[in-house]
Chain A
Amino acid sequence: MVVKPPYKILVVDDEPDLEPLMLQRMRRNIRRGQYNFVFARNGVQALDRLHQEDDIDMVVSDINMPEMDGLTLLQQIPKVDPNIRSIIVSAYGDMENIRTAMNRGAFDFVTKPIDFRDLRVTIDRTLQHLMEWREALASRDQLVALQNELTVASKMQQSILPTHFPDHPGYQLFANMEPARSVGGDFFDVVTLENERIGMTVADVSDKGVPAALFMMSTRTLIKGAAIGSAGPGDVLREVNNLLFEDNETEMFVTVLYAEYNPANGEFVYASGGHDPPLLVRPDGSSTSLPLTGGIALGLLPDLNYRQNSVILEPGETIVLYTDGVSEAMTSDEEQFGLERLRDAVAADPGEDAAAANEAVFEAVSDFVGDNPPSDDITCLTFRRTVSG
């Protein structure tokens, strides 16, 4: 079931020059036996190929094409094979189409002109997700006990977490999720937006197991889609809440803190859907929880409005987004880690390195709880405006 490389990638573009260019720029990966490319000139040709060849792992598709465009193709692919993942290639700034593509289930996107290094990273990440997903499906087929289901769910959960963080002179961002042994539904995500803005998500799904992992995956994709070209975090949560509510028959819900940062003016805008508020830590070590925006957890009720709040981050200031696995981590005497200790852990590291500050939180939690096993996932995202930023 779990296919080994080379992975077969179908590239769909009406531009004939792309084929030799792709083969040339990806030649090392082809020679190493990692990728194997096949091509189609439009959606109709692509679907024909997908029907004829059942070993295609993923699709990289342009949007504007004759006969059948990329957005229509995206809707057709799952009917051929729901386990194929797609990356959409779009004009830079064409946020409306990228957004539609993500909402139609595209796994990720790259913009034109194609940066092949970026495309390679995106392909690898998609393939990695795909492999973990297939492995999860394979073990689900052999599912006999709940423990197995939890293993499957945890693999799915791991496979959507970013492993690369943006490299920007104006800010640093780092995040991590430590799964509880048996339960939890935390995830985080990062999305690059127009004009160097960046979106970040920390979320907690209310249930465990495979259905919760699927709910988590749709939440992640829907946020990514809604974030692109939206009017801001409040708008994003409103859209995602409605989409989640529509096909939610499981009474699951997700608490989400979604925020956007603009390096041009240091503005940090956030909205909460039933989630703990961001923590602001200043370079002198003082800190404060930012005001809650009062939104309800997502997926529960339709047509809700979500308020957003905005702060200007000064150089050197840090924002920490976390799940209740951090604040409510507990010793065997049921004492909670709490916000004070979280603040102390972040404030103790005034350096430039967000990764180290984030790591310090996990160490502090682990020192605090001792050998008491965590009852919930622990997720923490540290965002710092650099001193020069």
Chain B
Amino acid sequence: MSVSTEWAWNDNAIVVTADGRVDGTNARDFQSALEAVIEASDQAVILDMERLTYISSAGLRVILLAAKSLQRKDATLSICSLSDPIREIFSVSGFDQIIPIHATQAEALAARKS
């Protein structure tokens, strides 16, 4: 059980794709990966969660930390392509009211441009 991340440059955002599951045992790895991305540029970050199977509250905290460090750089974090179980976790925890969520990566990128 692990999480891996890939990232791709786009016009005005970096798209990070997370794969696997994030729980208390690997939240720090996930955190380091996101921090590296944020460190590397001042662009907005879109986190694509299509291939994420599970995220615990420790994982939500990493997302919150990422959103806050981007905020300090006047950039934003948004999330896209949530599977139903993951969307449920975001909705129960209230995180869907804190972090912008888009249905698809294309929508998330479009929202950046507008």
Inter-subunit contact A251/B94 (CB<8 Å): no
Inter-subunit contact B57/A334 (CB<8 Å): no
Q: Which residues in A have their C-beta under 8 angstroms from that of B24?
A: 180, 182-184, 208, 375-376
Contact with A206, one of B54, B57, B92 (Cβ below 8 angstroms):
B57
State in angstroms the CA–CA spacing of A291 and B23 once bound together.
26
Chain B interface size range: 20 to 34
State in angstroms the CA–CA spacing of A334 and B57 once bound together.
18
Contact with B along A169-193 (1 / 0, CB 8 A): 0000000000010111100000000
**Contact of A324 with B61 at beta-carbon distance under 8 Å, contacts A296-B93, A375-B23 already known:** no
Inter-subunit contact B25/A294 (CB<8 Å): no
**Contact of A324 with B95 at beta-carbon distance under 8 Å, contacts A206-B61, A253-B64, A375-B25 already known:** no
Inter-subunit contact A274/B1 (CB<8 Å): no
Inter-subunit contact A375/B64 (CB<8 Å): no
Inter-subunit contact B94/A296 (CB<8 Å): yes
Taking the complex as formed, is B65 at the interface, i.e. its CB lies under 8 A from any CB of chain A? yes
Closest to A330 in B: B54
Contact with A208, one of B58, B65, B68, B95 (Cβ below 8 angstroms):
B58
Inter-subunit contact B23/A276 (CB<8 Å): no
Closest to B85 in A: A336
Contact with B along A191-220 (1 / 0, CB 8 A): 000000000000011111000000000000
Taking the complex as formed, is B40 at the interface, i.e. its CB lies under 8 A from any CB of chain A? no
Closest Cβ of chain B: how far from A238's Cβ, in Å?
14
Taking the complex as formed, is B53 at the interface, i.e. its CB lies under 8 A from any CB of chain A? yes
Taking the complex as formed, is B60 at the interface, i.e. its CB lies under 8 A from any CB of chain A? yes
Closest Cβ of chain B: how far from A155's Cβ, in Å?
18
Taking the complex as formed, is B114 at the interface, i.e. its CB lies under 8 A from any CB of chain A? no
Closest Cβ of chain B: how far from A122's Cβ, in Å?
32
Chain B residues numbered 21-71 whose CB sits less than 8 Å from any CB in chain A? 21, 23-25, 53-54, 56-58, 60-61, 64-65, 68
State in angstroms the CA–CA spacing of A301 and B98 once bound together.
9
Inter-subunit contact B93/A274 (CB<8 Å): yes
**Contact of A255 with B1 at beta-carbon distance under 8 Å, contacts A183-B24, A376-B23 already known:** no
State in angstroms the CA–CA spacing of A184 and B27 once bound together.
12
Q: Which residues in B have their C-beta under 8 angstroms from that of A292?
A: 92
**Contact of A251 with B98 at beta-carbon distance under 8 Å, contacts A376-B23, A376-B24 already known:** no
Contact with B along A289-332 (1 / 0, CB 8 A): 00010111100110000000000000000000000100010100
Q: Which residues in A have their C-beta under 8 angstroms from that of B95?
A: 274, 296-297
Taking the complex as formed, is A99 at the interface, i.e. its CB lies under 8 A from any CB of chain B? no
**Contact of A207 with B1 at beta-carbon distance under 8 Å, contacts A183-B24, A296-B98, A376-B24 already known:** no
Residues of A within 8 A of B (CB): 180, 182-185, 204-208, 251-253, 255, 272-277, 292, 294-297, 300-301, 324, 328, 330, 334, 375-376
Please list 13 pairs of residues, one from A and one from B, whose beta carbons are closer than 8 Å in the complex, sorted by A's number: A185-B57, A204-B57, A207-B61, A253-B60, A273-B94, A274-B93, A274-B94, A296-B98, A297-B60, A297-B93, A334-B1, A375-B23, A376-B24
4 further contact pairs, Cβ within 8 A, besides A206-B58, A297-B94: A251-B61, A251-B65, A274-B92, A300-B94
Residues of B within 8 A of A (CB): 1, 21, 23-25, 53-54, 56-58, 60-61, 64-65, 68, 89, 92-95, 97-98
